[in-house]
Homo-oligomer: A and B are copies of this chain.
Amino acid sequence: MPSYTAPVKDMQFLLHDVLKISETDIPGYADLDRSFTGAVLDEAAKVAQDILTPLNAVGDTEGCKLENGVVRTPKGFKEAFRTLSEGGWMSLDAAPDYGGQGLPYLMHTAVNETFVSANMAFNMYQGLTHGAYSAILVHGTDAQKTKWLPKLVTCEWTGTMNLTEPHCGTDLGLLRTKAEPQADGSYRITGQKIFISAGDHDMAENIVHLVLAKAPGGGEGTKGISLFIVPKVMVNDDGSLGARNAVSVGKVEEKMGIHGNATCVMNYDGATGWLLGDLHKGMKAMFTMMNEARLGVALQGYAVAEPAYQNAVAYAKDRLQGRAVTGAENPKGPADPLIVHPDIRRNLMEQKSFVEGARALTYWGATLIDRAHHGDAAADGLIGLLTPVLKGFQTDKGLEMTVQAQQVFGGHGYIEETGMSQFVRDARIAQIYEGANGVQALDLVGRKLATDGGKHVMAFFEMVKAECKAHDSDERMAGFVEPLKAASKQMQAAAMFFMQNGMKNPNAALAGSYDFMHLMGHVCLGLMWTRMAKAAHAALDSGAEDRAFYETKIATGRFYMARQLPACAAHLARIESGAEPVMALAAEAF
């Protein structure tokens, strides 16, 4: 069974050496000193390692079962869920007014990473609850907040997002679920929703479904959509639970992975619901959940690759096979460990440099979210631009890297017993849900690049330029600055190509959207590695004790710059080939 050790030292390096969080002006960050975050992360690590990791294979093997209309979660999930709830692990960044601990989103992110790495399927129950909490916090009335939030904060009740229907996923304008207004101000909700993660389970007293539906008078397409709060069990005015609502589970899906999370078909048969936010403005309210969910999924991309990497490393050090081409390194043994072989190194370095780079990007993104929560419009615009990149790039690479980790095990990786297959099968969903990655690319190129007149992407370019300029005279940083400059220029050339050609023919931009998302992902990770290298050099210069740790950071970053940024040129070439090769065929020719 795979093991997992939370990389607290790497996390602390990011929080304090790179992001220097307690020195920033972000409200609440001043308290986040090294010893405080270290204590929180050490405790989170114990929970992740001791409670959640052992349940990961259990969840995969047992899955969730629908029995007499109720979903049974895998053995041990219920107890673990209660333990985490009681330990306060699910309310870290929730508002103190509703029972939360009021920590920044950044701390939620870092803690959450350890839980996702340990058990992605398990953590989704909490993740979706967090999304429902946020939507009600932002869009709910005071009465709604008082009624729903305290129990969501503790995860005594959990939450869901109900968007997809059998005939529509991305294109929500087509949805058919109806909301009929009742005399008492409530709505009768009728329709079928599919792919509802954590749609039902036996770990909480109640489930708060947030459901998109069409109420009368809203017009065609997405304009007619509203968002409703539809509880599994009705809640009386005194907060006690009442009768079951008319919502039921039609089916639990058999999936490729995340078996520990119940993916449900939900049937709403005249269920009672209450409007959340404005009538006919449901898409806006849903996007509060969706944007947060996308960042959560971006985190999954690298967080599931982390334990896969750790286990690949352990296997590569342990498994004796062949000899180093430069001479035996384990001459007394029957063979050398796999890790002596250059191609195994290449494989592991790709994993390591991706996971650490993506972690940096995700934590930086979390600081932007915290800034945005406090009204920083520039940060809000920047994270809006970056969200599709984090989601699409990090989850694509996440799958690739779990595949590579599995590959280190050879045939043993293909056997379910080693657990390497589960990482791959679990990682796969992150490319699909919360907006398939092609939709992320469309959002990025079709919408985000031009948001506010292109202001945010220009700010990003300026930021990269400033970073390069800051180290121009530092010879030690040449291996970072030069590749980052080149990659950033390639990204600018691609954006320019879109501007020059996209007006005449929108397909010319959209045919290159997926490549642009990856090109920008590499630039982002290049920027992160440049910042990490700078921080590592600074630590070394100031006489840090653990020199090997910082030297390893620099070497890992050099690998990323030398070996991964060359992909940018290929992405640009593909983008510049335009729409013609992509759109040449008639549909019948496929």
Contacts and interface: CB of A to CB of B under 8 A. Distances in A.
Contacts of A325: 446, 506-507, 510
A343 B511 contact: yes
Contact of A569 (B257, B410, B431, B566): B566
A442 B321 CA distance: 14
Interface string A135-176: 000000000000000000000000000001001111101100
A50 B379 CA distance: 58
A438 B424 CA distance: 19
A442 B345 CA distance: 13
Interface in A300-327: 313, 316-317, 320-322, 325-326
Given A164-B411, A168-B321, A414-B428, A345 B511 contact: yes
A317 B438 contact: no
A406 B399 CA distance: 13
A421 B406 CA distance: 17
Interface string A549-590: 000100110110011001101100110010101111111111
Interface in A356-415: 399, 403, 406-407, 410-411, 413-415
Number of copies: 2
A429 B257 CA distance: 17
Contacts of A256: 414-416, 421, 424-425
Interface string A515-558: 00000000000000000000000000000000010001001101
Contacts of A506: 325-326
Most chain B CB inside 10 Å of its own CB: which residue of A325, A415, A585:
A585
A86 interface: no
Contacts of A326: 505-507
A347 interface: yes
Given A254-B416, A587-B317, A170 B410 contact: yes
Given A339-B590, A514-B343, A407 B436 contact: yes
B569 A573 contact: yes
Interface string A443-464: 0001000000000000000000
Nearest to A323: B171
Contacts of A514: 343, 346-347
A142 to B, nearest CB: 36
Contacts of A254: 415-417
A566 B559 contact: no
Contacts of A58: none
A348 interface: yes
A214 to B, nearest CB: 14
Contact of A510 (B253, B320, B341, B579): B341
A103 interface: no
Nearest to A417: B254
Interface residues of A, number: 97
A468 B514 CA distance: 31
A437 interface: yes
Contacts of A417: 253-254
A476 interface: no
A174 to B, nearest CB: 6
Nearest to A431: B407
Given A507-B325, A563-B582, A589 B548 contact: yes
A411 B169 contact: yes
B581 A438 contact: no
A352 interface: yes
A334 interface: yes
A505 B579 CA distance: 44
B410 A432 contact: yes
Nearest to A479: B581
Given A438-B347, A511-B345, A334 B174 contact: yes
Contacts of A337: 587
A513 B562 contact: no
Nearest to A319: B167
Given A164-B411, A171-B320, 9 more contacts: A256-B414, A256-B421, A339-B590, A342-B511, A348-B590, A403-B428, A403-B431, A552-B589, A563-B581
30 contacts: A167-B320, A169-B411, A171-B320, A174-B320, A174-B321, A253-B417, A254-B415, A256-B414, A263-B415, A317-B590, A325-B446, A341-B510, A342-B511, A342-B513, A342-B582, A342-B583, A343-B442, A343-B510, A343-B511, A343-B513, A343-B514, A345-B583, A346-B514, A407-B431, A407-B432, A410-B436, A414-B432, A548-B586, A558-B581, A558-B584
